[in-house]
Structure 1
Amino acid sequence: MNAEQFPAAWLFPETTDAPSPMTPEPPVDGTERHHECGILRQIVEGTSAPVVIVDEHLRYTYVNPAWTAATGVPASGYLGKKFGSILPDVQTPDDVLIEVLADGKPREVTVTGTTPVPSPVGRRIWRSVFHRLESNGRVIGVCGIGVEVSNLRQYLDDLETAHQRLALLDAAGTRVGTTLDVETTCAELADFLSPSLADVAAVGIVEEEFDRTPPPPPGVLRLRKMKLTAAPEVQLHLRELGGGKPYVDLPRGGFIRNCMDSGRPWRGNSASEELMEKVTAAHDSVKIFRMAGMHSVLVVPLPTAGRSLGTVMLLRGGDSAPFSEDDVLTAQGVAARAATSIDSARRYTGEHAMTLELQRALLSEPTPPHSSIEVATRYLPSGRSVLVGGDWYDSIALPGGRTLLVMGDVMGHGFQAAVAMSQYRSVVRTIATSDSGLTVDEMLRKADHRAARIGLDRVATCLLVLADPEHGTCTAATAGHLPPVIVRPDGSAEVLDLPAGPPIGTELGDYELTTFSWDPDAVLLLYTDGLVEQRGTDIDDAVRGLTELDLPADGPLEHLVDTLLTQLTSGICEDDIALLAARQCGGNPPSAPPASRVLPEG
């Protein structure tokens, strides 16, 4: 704006009854004063900071070019108008100006609002300071100078949003994927996203096996409904969604299928009923969502390497704001972390099931002992957080009415440990049956040498007890395994002290045998460390704790082993448990049916 656009008379109004607010005392040198005023005018009209002057009645008497450029209103549109009448969408601090007029103290204030000139930041922000103007002791108005800080405010808002997103992702890392169970992980994901990011959150996973239902047509992807979580006020309407099929079939070309195939999210704010029906792939669901007040949808795939294993559908309704671009980024971050946990849970479930089947195949039918000895066995898999391991037991009938009782534990967990377990079991069985004249310490020494020679990459602890009912004795040797326990009919129990030897597979074999008497009615217990191992408790103290249990040694062995597991476990174990109880038949007939059993997980 130049002088022609805003006449000098507006900046220096001439009155007859009082000096102009911008006109000082007549200068001695009028030319010099005129020059100074020209410099001041260049500063005021050349600055990028908005400058306004209002009189004592809060009417505009001057605005500089910066303010007209910022607001889009010409200078002539301001002159003589009230301060807040020109820009109705801009906050007017009239009360602050009145205070400045009253006491003369400058005041800072933040002015916000929208103007006819569009701004990339939307609502604009100015930080302004107002000063009282006086002439010859008379108050003639207020001058305001402002600096726009919209971009700085936007930067701070973006920074705060980024911090909130990181905090949300960090919280998701601790609350989603706490177990290696697919259903639990999906439920944790839905429960986390609603209400932290949406009013409704639904999680679906691609169905890969169709044992319970017919498979979908070729080219159709089946998505199993895992969990739907909603805010309490919405839950009432969504109860009807619990019925119907537990899955939805997705042909190519649909919204959800496109999201999964492309790996990109889809956002639909203020979606029409027709659009929501296409997204949800269910007309009845749309009606229920509409009744619940849902207005915006966000679909995010659950990405893994090369494919999507499912989707998350988020909905907002009522007074909730539509989904922003930042919401999309946050949802993608949470979904990516959750997908990793779900994929790991799926892999674990497959490996766990395969390993458990291998364990069952190997342990469900141990070689029967001699008829003079009865045996009861149990195998209890570990809980969800630990893979099945390499525990094993066996009973091998040898000449002379003797029976070799075996208990072993391969180091490590998982499928490879189970495979190694089967090899160790075969090695011990082969050695015991090929040369019945060997003592138990010699059996361990041969097993150690053979395991090292065939290249087994995992060592194993092993306890061998050769039971001889005819002579009422047992000989035992241990390769780093926990000692056996004898339980007598009167309820007393004793831990047998055996010289410890190195695990087999190390080729360091140096083992000693120990012979002890075995009363006809006493029960011999062999076990792996999962039965007694406790965090914060010394293993020797934990083993001695077996002698303090009240175990019914004079009843069926089935009852004894079940009682023992009930007293020492609470359903989910941190490590596998293998247990073998043996007793001479004598006057107690063997339990029927055969006592070997693999207990289900948990």
Structure 2
Amino acid sequence: MATFVQGNGHSGWSGGVATVTVGLDGIVTGWSEGARRLLGHPAPEVVGRAAADLVLDREAPEAAGLSLAGSREWSGTAALRHRDGHRVDVTLHAHPSLGGDGSPQGFVVTVTTGTADSEHDRRMVEWAFAQASIPLSTYSTTSGSWHPNAAAEGDERAVEIAGPDEDLLSCVHRVAEEGTPMRYERIAPEPSAVFTPASARHRAWIVELWPVRDPATGEVVGVGTAAFDSTDHHAARQRLALLQEAGSRIGTTLNVTRTAKELADLVVPRLADFVSVDLLESVLRGEEPTAGPVDAAVVLRRVAHQSTAEGDSVPEAAIELGGIDTYPPFSPPARSLTGGRPVLSGADDPDFARWIAGDKTRTARVEEYGFHSVMATPLRARGITLGVAVFARADGSPPFEQDDLILAEELAGRAAVGVDNARRYTRERNNALTLQRSLLPRDLPKQAAVEVASRYLPAGRGAGVGGDWFDVVPLSGTRVALVVGDVVGHGIHASATMGRLRTAVRTLADVDLPPDELLTHLDDLVIHLATDRDEVAPNEPYVVSGEIGATCLYAVYDPVSRICTFASAGHVPPAVLLPDGTVSVVRLTPGPLLGVGGLPFESTELELPEGSLLAFCTDGLIEARDRDIGLGLDRLCEALASPVPSLEVTCDTILKALLPESPADDVALLLARTRALHADQVAAWSLPSDPSIVADARAQASRQLAAWGLEDASFVTELVVSELVTNAIRYGAVPIGLRLIRDRTLICEVSDASNTAPHLRRARTYDEGGRGLHMVAQLTQGWGTRQTPVGKTIWAEQPLPVG
């Protein structure tokens, strides 16, 4: 890794040597470019003039140095006049220029700026470079060689930076070419140390680079470098980055185990070579643990661990996932739980050695992998201790430091908040699921009309339980009602609303209302429920204002006529598999959602052969982000057509074919295979409106019971037939019909064309009527009346004779 910072450079002549040639007569005969830069005079202005004219004090002895005669060498100081008039202090060195015969021809005068003090200052700068405590070096663009100071020569990493690092050399060449300062950062493993990748221990350097220029020409002749050790700053940035990443990687789901695993995956290998997360049993159940620190001798369950080993296995672990461990009171994890603070321990800690020696498996793991440093941090959130996280480093990694302990405590705290959120969600979800399942039928009732199987699946972890439900309601005349519904929304409110609607459906079904009328009454109920919710104070707990919406599909199947009558309130239609293998979606006239109000519901009748299979479901089964309801119904038909040995297997096959591992919505599925009652189980007669026919009706019923071998039921049946037929003739209208059905019970039905329903009442002492229905109710196990398209039917049901 390398970074570059470019700045602006500058150039200028800040000192050096100027050369002047002077004749024996003191006249300047030569003027160098250095002399021009020193005093500002171009050569034409000086050559031919007396050198003494350049001296400020012409009477000073030093001035004689510019007008000497003879052959001796001379040195001294002088104050010269710059072209703009300011004073320039210089040191003069005069060297005679001799001819071929050894006679002097003139003088070569070397002019150097500065005094003895400035020369000392220059030397001091050189000493400062050599003796600097930080690694300094210069790179010569001419020779390509490095010249480090003592600090750079004594630091192996600094020498490495100065030498073979290609990125640094590239940066040096760039500074030399562009003439601008830059910054370079280098991060690498510690020299002469063997660290595993898990230790993540690196040394960082920041190198400042700047161009070195020739004062005389301004040309870049080298590059200077200064190296600063930034290891601590780099480590701090790494810790900060790990904390920042923890905010996005820990607690992504409301799942206790997943949150613990996210902590383990994050810190290995960036902080530790091995980490384990153990939680209290009560946390996994969603229960509220005791506030405050936990006693040392506490049972914990391993929910997550991770190591640097390749693959998914964690061979360093002494406890398997899901296993239980009890930490002794003196162990670092137990001390951490007891004190509620993180604990740093290692091989030099007697309690650590005692803890390891107390378990053979743990001893073997420590010896095999060389664990020598451990941090134990309690998982605490909202003042409650949830468990403990243990971080460990093995051979090849340095021991944990205090900064690592602070980092581990912060990471564990963030993980604890995620675990506690997941625990609280688990508790609420379990409560809602308990309510949901208690409101759904546990065992579907036995009846003769259909063979049934069902499934209910709550939504995935993110959505919570919903308001899907199903039901099977036995009706009079061996008929059965098949119901499936879905309350809009999720959570405990949807579950509670579902329970109220299911109870209402069962109550209305007992009245034997036709499907369309039942949905009309249910629609009114939902409107009333929504009105009640609006009248509740908004701050009242567990109440959310707003409308209630729900869908419902209600079907009644009659095994005698083999006709199924459907009515839908915005619900998805069912699919039907006929005995010949044909699969289709039942075409219904869907009504509005429950709670809309003001719109009618329509019924659809479908005659089904015996053995037909109906599939009722909620939209969570067939609708998803990647498919609409139409495609979902097609897939349902495909799964329904697959040959399977039983309805239970069919349910599983459908769910597997249509649902992902974690469904986004809750799902209700109800399968019903139709049965039929044949002629040997049903006897029916049409009766005239004549009181004399009552005796005939009793006789026909007795003969039919004898044919079925039910002579023991004749007495009660004749009384029931006599009373019901008499009432139909007296209070009803033609046509009048009598029907006996033999199934699990014996059912007697009398129908007529009047819509007037009888009412049971207790007759007074001198009343001549009113005792018939009371007697029927006493002699049978149940009776009732239901409306039909052409009138009503009164029925009475009695158990079959024993044997």
When the two structures are superposed, what TM-score results if normalisation uses the length of structure 2? 0.53
Query: Percent identity of the aligned residues?
Result: 32
Structure 1 match to 2:348: 272
Deviations 1:485-512 (A, max 9, x none): 22211121222233333332x3535231
Contact map agreement 2:250 2:259 (CA 8 A) in 1: yes
Query: How many Å apart are 1:528 and its aligned residue?
Result: 0.8
Aligned match of 1:208 in 266, 269, 282? 282
Query: How many Å apart are 1:515 and its aligned residue?
Result: 2.1
Change (3 A) 1:554 1:28: closer
SS of the residue 2:591 aligns to: coil
Give the Cα–Cα distance (whole angstroms) in 1 for the partners of residues 489 and 435 of structure 2: 16
Change (3 A) 1:86 1:482: closer
Contact map agreement 1:206 1:310 (CA 8 A) in 2: yes
Aligned match of 1:517 in 593, 606, 619? 606
Deviations 1:299-350 (A, max 9, x none): 2332322123222211112221233455345434433333233223323333
Query: How many Å apart are 1:279 and its aligned residue?
Result: 7.2
Give the Cα–Cα distance (whole angstroms) in 1 for the partners of residues 415 and 148 of structure 2: 55
Query: How many Å apart are 1:222 and its aligned residue?
Result: 3.0
Query: How many Å apart are 1:562 and its aligned residue?
Result: 3.7
Aligned match of 1:542 in 619, 624, 632? 632
- Kindly report which structure 2 residues correspond to 1:282-297, keeping only aligned pairs within 5 A, or say none: 282=358, 284=360, 285=362, 288-297=365-374
Give the Cα–Cα distance (whole angstroms) in 1 for the partners of residues 556 and 242 of structure 2: 61
Q: Aligned letter for 2:658?
A: L
Contact map agreement 2:133 2:151 (CA 8 A) in 1: no
Structure 1 residue 583 corresponds to structure 2 residue 659: no
Q: Aligned letter for 2:576?
A: I
Deviations 1:38-86 (A, max 9, x none): 55268558xxxx732xxxxxxxxxx35x976859xxxxxxxxxx99889
Structure 2 match to 1:230: 307
Contact map agreement 1:201 1:315 (CA 8 A) in 2: yes
Structure 1 residue 428 corresponds to structure 2 residue 505: yes
Structure 1 residue 469 corresponds to structure 2 residue 559: yes
Change (3 A) 1:87 1:518: closer
Contact map agreement 2:480 2:557 (CA 8 A) in 1: yes
Change (3 A) 1:509 1:160: farther
Structure 1 residue 27 corresponds to structure 2 residue 96: no
- Kindly report which structure 2 residues correspond to 1:383-402, keeping only aligned pairs within 5 A, or say none: 383-402=460-479
Contact map agreement 1:356 1:388 (CA 8 A) in 2: yes
Larger deviation: 220-229 or 235-244? 235-244
Contact map agreement 2:331 2:351 (CA 8 A) in 1: no
Structure 2 match to 1:495: 585
Give the Cα–Cα distance (whole angstroms) in 2 for the partners of residues 526 and 444 of structure 1: 19
Give the Cα–Cα distance (whole angstroms) in 2 for the partners of residues 290 and 578 of structure 1: 55
Deviations 1:426-451 (A, max 9, x none): 12222332564672342333332343
Contact map agreement 1:449 1:509 (CA 8 A) in 2: no
Contact map agreement 1:500 1:511 (CA 8 A) in 2: no
Change (3 A) 1:315 1:233: farther
- Kindly report which structure 2 residues correspond to 1:18-417, keeping only aligned pairs within 5 A, or say none: 26-29=75-78, 32-33=89-90, 36-37=114-115, 40=118, 51-52=125-126, 63-64=127-128, 89=154, 150=228, 154=230, 157=231, 160-169=234-243, 172=246, 176-177=250-251, 179-208=253-282, 220-232=297-309, 238=316, 246-249=324-327, 251=329, 255-260=332-337, 263-268=340-345, 271-277=347-353, 282=358, 284=360, 285=362, 288-365=365-442, 368=445, 370-417=447-494
SS of the residue 1:540 aligns to: helix
Query: How many Å apart are 1:195 and its aligned residue?
Result: 2.1
Structure 1 match to 2:597: 508
Give the Cα–Cα distance (whole angstroms) in 1 for the partners of residues 481 and 322 of structure 2: 57
Give the Cα–Cα distance (whole angstroms) in 2 for the partners of residues 333 and 131 of structure 1: 48
Give the Cα–Cα distance (whole angstroms) in 2 for the partners of residues 526 and 197 of structure 1: 54
Query: How many Å apart are 1:460 and its aligned residue?
Result: 1.9
Contact map agreement 1:204 1:227 (CA 8 A) in 2: yes
Q: Aligned letter for 1:461?
A: T
- Pick the structure with greater CA Rg: 2
Give the Cα–Cα distance (whole angstroms) in 2 for the partners of residues 86 and 548 of structure 1: 80
Structure 1 residue 448 corresponds to structure 2 residue 522: no
Deviations 1:170-226 (A, max 9, x none): 555565555544334433432442223211212111232899xxx999774333233
Contact map agreement 1:260 1:307 (CA 8 A) in 2: no
What is the root-mean-square deviation in Å for CA atoms of aligned residues? 4.9
Larger deviation: 257-266 or 221-230? 257-266
Change (3 A) 1:381 1:221: same
Contact map agreement 2:621 2:658 (CA 8 A) in 1: yes
Give the Cα–Cα distance (whole angstroms) in 1 for the partners of residues 344 and 150 of structure 2: 40
Change (3 A) 1:295 1:26: farther
Q: Aligned letter for 2:510?
A: T
Contact map agreement 1:396 1:403 (CA 8 A) in 2: yes
Q: Aligned letter for 2:495?
A: A
Q: Aligned letter for 2:521?
A: M
Give the Cα–Cα distance (whole angstroms) in 2 for the partners of residues 210 and 177 of structure 1: 15
Q: Aligned letter for 2:657?
A: Q
Q: Aligned letter for 1:484?
A: P
Give the Cα–Cα distance (whole angstroms) in 2 for the partners of residues 265 and 273 of structure 1: 15
Contact map agreement 2:563 2:605 (CA 8 A) in 1: yes
* Structure 1 alignment gaps of length 5 or more: 1-23, 53-62, 72-81, 98-104, 113-121, 135-143, 590-602
Larger deviation: 295-304 or 482-491? 295-304
Query: How many Å apart are 1:394 and its aligned residue?
Result: 0.9
Contact map agreement 1:277 1:286 (CA 8 A) in 2: no
Query: How many Å apart are 1:526 and its aligned residue?
Result: 1.2
Contact map agreement 1:477 1:513 (CA 8 A) in 2: yes
SS of the residue 2:399 aligns to: coil
Query: How many Å apart are 1:272 and its aligned residue?
Result: 0.7
Query: How many Å apart are 1:371 and its aligned residue?
Result: 2.5
Give the Cα–Cα distance (whole angstroms) in 1 for the partners of residues 525 and 549 of structure 2: 11
How many residues align? The count is 507
Change (3 A) 1:321 1:585: same
* Structure 2 alignment gaps of length 5 or more: 1-72, 80-87, 92-112, 135-146, 164-175, 187-202, 216-221, 534-542, 682-803
Contact map agreement 2:130 2:149 (CA 8 A) in 1: no
Deviations 1:252-292 (A, max 9, x none): x8643453465543334x64151424677956535642442
Structure 1 match to 2:30: none
Query: How many Å apart are 1:162 and its aligned residue?
Result: 4.9
